[in-house]
Amino acid sequence: MKSYLTYTDEVRQALENNKPVVALETTIISHGMPYPQNVEMAKQVENIIREQGAVPATIGIMNGKIKIGLNEQELEEFATNPSVAKVSRRDFPYILASGKIGATTVAGTMIAAQLAGIRVFATGGIGGVHREGEITWDVSADLTELAQTNVAVVCAGAKSILDLGRTLEYLETQGVPVVGYQTDQFPSFFARESGYGVDFRLNTPEEVAALMDTKWQLGLEGGLIIANPVPEADALDHREIEAVIQQALNEAKANNITGKNVTPFLLDKVKQLTGGTSLQTNIALVKHNVEVAAKIAVAYQSKK
């Protein structure tokens, strides 16, 4: 699959010179946020990573190639083109073979990052077990990817549109360490708390880098979750957002939304129902995650 990869000069040089690199996903741009906030966010997070002394690699699929790093024009395309597909593990062969444009999810970005030799990836929130997943069997492929692909995912937990308890149980079964970055609680994306704990609390990038290194030295394949709560100033109230989510879930059900459309539908509804405050929070937490991810990438690279 490596022959399918192409790199921007910036990313190729960084990888050749063993500089720290942070992977970024495109689904959050194409399907997670409206234009123009999506492309503004995409450019800002790249600069935050550079300011920390690391190199950003935003990953997406175009013209039969997996692009490791996107230029400004390509970012704009992912932010505006309505025909961008959402690419998880199962979608790679179709999107590559057909030459279509595809935005990678957490699972898709992990696959590409591993192929490119990138160990740290920052996003907003991972997918997980959906509420009523015991009936619908809607369990994100992000979880099975975390079980097998060697990338640390820095996120603000899993979105509270999900069943967080079952998501954490699934991760435990699959042997994925859930690390709280400077927190004992598993964050719920828009809010800093969830009522669920993390497996291990670590307080510095160096401690996280040591854990990653030890896991992979041991030959324990798979990813890690580095759960980094949204900054206090941008956090939403856990209970208020829960009421909004209930309404969004009801509407998804009434409209028979299924499969890969569920997550984008819920995100958009939550944004509408909060009058855009959820979008501001979403952007703030992604920025915080990329900053922490860049620090972890720097610490991990200095061990190599």
The residues assigned a catalytic role are: 25, 159
CA angle 172, 177, 183 (to 5 degrees): 110
119 three-state secondary structure: coil
Find which of Mn ion, ligand PSU, none residue 69 binds, CB within 5 to 8 Å per kind.
none
Helix (H, G, I), strand (E, B) or coil at 155: strand
Minimal distance, residue 88 CB to Mn ion, in Å: 9
| CA–centroid distance for 74 within its chain | 19
Say which residues have a Cβ less than 8 Å from residue 64's Cβ, sequence separation at least 6.
Answer: 4, 96, 97, 99
Cβ nearer to Mn ion, comparing 76 with 138: 138
To ligand PSU, the closest distance from the beta carbon of 139 in angstroms equals 8
The least distance separating ligand PSU from the CB of residue 123, rounded to whole angstroms, comes to 6
User: What residues line the site for ligand PSU (CB under 6 A)?
Assistant: 25, 27-28, 31-32, 105-106, 124-125, 127, 140-142, 159, 260, 263, 267, 282
Minimum distance, C-beta of residue 9 to ligand PSU, in the bound complex (Å): 26
For residue 160, count CB atoms less than 10 angstroms from its CB and return exposed for 0-12, middle for 13-18, buried for 19 or more.
buried
Helix orientation angle between 262-273 and 277-303, rounded to the nearest 10 degrees: 120
Count of chain residues binding Mn ion (CB under 5 A): 1
Q: Which amino acid is at 11?
A: V
The smaller minimum CB distance to Mn ion, of residues 111 and 212, is found at 111
Q: Least distance from C-beta 81 to ligand PSU, angstroms?
A: 16
28 binds, among ligand PSU, Mn ion, none (CB under 5 to 8 A by kind): ligand PSU
Sorted by sequence, the CB contacts under 8 Å of residue 81 that are 6+ apart come out as: 30, 101
- Nearer to ligand PSU (CB atom), residue 20 or residue 124: 124
In the complex with ligand PSU, which residue's Cβ is closer, 68 or 298?
Answer: 68
**Is residue 138 at the binding interface for Mn ion, with CB under 5 A as the rule?**
yes
Secondary element (H or E) of residue 33: none
> Which lies closer to ligand PSU via its Cβ, residue 208 or residue 262?
262
How far from each other are the two terminal CA atoms of the chain, in whole angstroms? 25
Is 142 among the residues that bind Mn ion (CB under 5 A)? no
The answer to whether 77 contacts Mn ion (rule: CB under 5 A) is no
Binding site for Mn ion (CB under 5 A): 138
